[in-house]
Amino acid sequence: MQTDRVKIIHELDEAWNSRDLDRILAFYSDDFELCSPHVKNRLEIGDGTLRGKEKVRAWWRRVLDKVPDLRSELVSVSEGVDSVAYAFKSSFSGSISVSVFWFDTEGKIRKELFHA
């Protein structure tokens, strides 16, 4: 049986492939935190974490503009105790990446740890 969180991740994957940033960000809380090695290396943020939906919006806008054919191919979704792991293949790198998501009480993603 597919849980609500797993369903949300499938919908999020579809949103990313639509490239509609507002549609993508609708899945995230306003105080969303994104931790990514790309943020650490490209933005030179020591802990690799962007805090707040607007900072993440600016970062993802930059990514979507830079890579106009960026798409993801869902590989798997696995549930933990209070998180969901989303494995996908990126059209940009051709490799499999994994994001682990934690949700708030309203079903919005509050934190993501991205693994490239």
Report the pLDDT value the prediction gives residue 3, as an integer from 0 to 100. Answer: 77
* Contact present, 69 and 63 (Cβ < 8 Å): no
Residue 24 sits in a domain whose CATH number is 3.10.450.50
End-to-end CA distance of the chain: 29
| Residues of the domain holding 47 | 4-115
Domain count, the chain: 1
Whole-model pTM: value is 0.91
Average pLDDT over residues 11-29: 96
- pLDDT digit string (tens) for 55-111? 999 999 999 999 999 999 999 999 998 899 999 999 888 899 999 999 999 999 999
Report the pLDDT value the prediction gives residue 2, as an integer from 0 to 100. Answer: 59
**How far is 45 from 98, CA to CA, in rounded Å?**
20
Which two three-digit tokens encode residue 9? 């991740």
Instruction: State whether residue 77 is helix, strand or coil.
Output: strand
